[in-house]
């Protein structure tokens, strides 16, 4: 019995020794301890999570209109002439624009020197710059004239052309139906055959559509800002910034013939009291309130429209600190814009086509509405002359 107890104790001792030898040693194959991984806490549910910013952030459009630069006096004058279809302009006493030769069915593009003598303005040397097309929306930069080329028989637009003021280097920059040509910097803006806002570099390169939307009265305020009438949005007026797509609705009513002076937008609105007549309207683009649009998820500027008190024909010029209707009525101070009136909606006899501090150009119409002559006013010497078609 004693021997059995000793054998049992010996077996227990051997087992303890073997277990100790099989444990971890500081020499030989050292096992790295397994890293302790602490799980990241799961995010708590947020009852009001911050949404991803949409294309229009909550202050986007109000921020955009606050950055609108406005127009200088020279830009306003150019916009006023554009609003009257840009049939011609006077620079350094030379008229560039449409004029007739006797016996011709439609006007051509002319360059004509204007000379003032006592009580008269006479045509000096003149040159035909384009005998194949009639010009529309004519603009000039340096010694180059840009214009929409009209078919002289049908009046249909054929594209955008350019020609030197000396009649040389005639080019076709864009082929196809187009309208509302204007220029800002080195960019020509126009609407294409679909009525979509488009642009092209002034040398004829990089032509592309800016917006897939039919518009009217498109004008390039700068290389980044446009104004137009949105046909599908109740003929309302919009400002559009090209660089970020800011589309700012300016009116809840139909607006026509927009012209901006500084940050004041003048336009024609329908007169509810007289069929076919308009009344002038004005918006201060620097003065607005904000309205949240849930559909767009943004704040939009809201403008107050002021209306004129008298009817007029719908088309007007702003030159410096004066405004006048296009039918040749006397100019009034821009501060008195609400009093602008004429009888143009009853028929035109004299149609202003260009206004500057130095010259005013009018076209004279007959009883049948056809143009019979062009009148040139020297605003400095206070002379004027009605010049019939050239021989």
CA distance 285 to 281: 13
pLDDT in tens, 31-76: 333 333 333 333 333 333 333 333 444 457 888 999 999 999 989 9
Look at residues 380, 326, 388 and name the one whose alpha carbon lies nearest to residue 112: 388
Mean pLDDT for the stretch of residues 105-134: 90
CA distance 166 to 228: 33
| Phi-psi group of 262: left, alpha or beta (phi > 0 → left; psi -120 to 50 → alpha; rest → beta) | left
For 96-147, give the DSSP string. EEEE-BTT-SS-EEEEEEEEEETTEEEEEEEEEEESSEEEEEEEEETTEEEE
Mean pLDDT for the stretch of residues 353-379: 85
For 3-60, give the DSSP string. HHHHHHHHHHHHHHHHHHHTS--SSSSPPPPPPPP-PPPPPPP-SSPPPPP-SS-TTH
pLDDT in tens, 178-222: 999 999 999 999 999 999 999 999 988 888 999 999 999 999 999
What pLDDT is stored for residue 365 in this prediction? 81
CB contact at 8 A, 216 and 246: no
What pLDDT is stored for residue 230 in this prediction? 96
Token pair for 114: 């204007």
CA distance 262 to 74: 10
pLDDT in tens, 229-244: 999 999 999 999 999 9
CA distance 289 to 298: 13
CA distance 230 to 217: 9
Token pair for 323: 């405004």
For 306-374, give the DSSP string. EE-SS-B-S-EEEETTEEEETTSPPPEEGGGGGG---SGGG--SEEEEEE-SSEEEEEEE-TTS-EEEE
CA distances for 320 relative to 92, 185, 286, angstroms? 18, 22, 20
Q: Which three-class secondary structure state does DSSP give residue 61? A: helix
| pLDDT confidence bin for 330, thresholds 50/70/90 | confident
Look at residues 277, 201, 275, 286 and name the one whose alpha carbon lies nearest to residue 250: 286
pTM of the predicted protein model: 0.81
CA distance 191 to 119: 43
Q: Which residues lie across from 355 on neighbouring strands?
A: 360
The CATH class for the domain spanning 60-388 reads: mainly beta
What pLDDT is stored for residue 36 in this prediction? 34
Across the beta sheet with 208-209, the strand order is 179-184, 187-191, 197-201, 208-209
Token pair for 137: 């929306």
Mean pLDDT for the stretch of residues 348-360: 84
Residue 101 has pLDDT above 90, yes or no: no
């Amino acid at each position: 019995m004693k021997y059995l107890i000793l054998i049992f104790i010996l077996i227990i001792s051997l087992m303890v020794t073997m277990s100790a030898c099989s444990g971890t040693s500081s020499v030989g194959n050292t096992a790295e301890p397994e890293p302790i991984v602490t799980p990241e806490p799961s995010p708590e549910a947020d009852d009001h999570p911050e949404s991803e910013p949409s294309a229009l952030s909550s202050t986007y459009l109000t921020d955009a209109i606050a950055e609108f630069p406005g127009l200088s006096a020279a830009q306003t004058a150019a916009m006023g002439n554009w609003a009257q279809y840009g049939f011609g302009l006077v620079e350094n006493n030379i008229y560039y624009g449409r004029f007739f030769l006797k016996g011709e069915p439609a006007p051509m593009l002319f360059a004509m020197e204007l000379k003032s003598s006592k009580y008269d303005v006479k045509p000096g040397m003149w040159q035909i710059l384009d005998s194949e097309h009639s010009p529309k929306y004519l603009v000039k930069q340096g010694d180059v004239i840009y214009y929409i080329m009209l078919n002289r028989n049908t009046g249909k637009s054929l594209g955008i052309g350019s020609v030197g003021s000396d009649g040389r280097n005639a080019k076709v920059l864009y082929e196809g139906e187009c309208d509302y040509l204007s220029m800002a910097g080195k960019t020509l803006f126009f609407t294409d055959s679909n009525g979509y806002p488009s642009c092209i570099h002034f040398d004829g390169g990089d032509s592309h559509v800016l917006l897939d939307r039919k518009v009217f009265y498109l004008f390039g305020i700068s290389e980044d800002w446009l104004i137009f009438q949105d046909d599908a949005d109740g003929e309302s007026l919009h400002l559009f910034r090209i660089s970020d797509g800011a589309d700012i609705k300016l009116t809840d009513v139909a607006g026509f013939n927009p012209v901006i002076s500084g940050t004041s937008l003048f336009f024609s609105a329908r007169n509810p009291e007289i069929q076919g007549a308009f009344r002038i309207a004005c918006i201060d683009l620097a003065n607005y309130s904000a309205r949240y649009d849930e559909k767009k998820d943004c704040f939009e500027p809201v403008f107050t429209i002021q209306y004129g008190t008298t009817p007029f024909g719908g088309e007007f010029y702003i030159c410096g600190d004066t405004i006048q209707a296009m039918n040749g009525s006397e100019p009034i101070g821009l501060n008195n814009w609400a009093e602008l009136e004429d009888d143009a909606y009853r028929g035109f006899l004299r149609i202003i086509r260009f206004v500057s501090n130095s010259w005013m150009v009018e076209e004279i119409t007959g009883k049948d509405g056809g143009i019979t002559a062009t009148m040139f006013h020297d605003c400095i010497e206070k002379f004027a002359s009605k010049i019939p078609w050239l021989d």
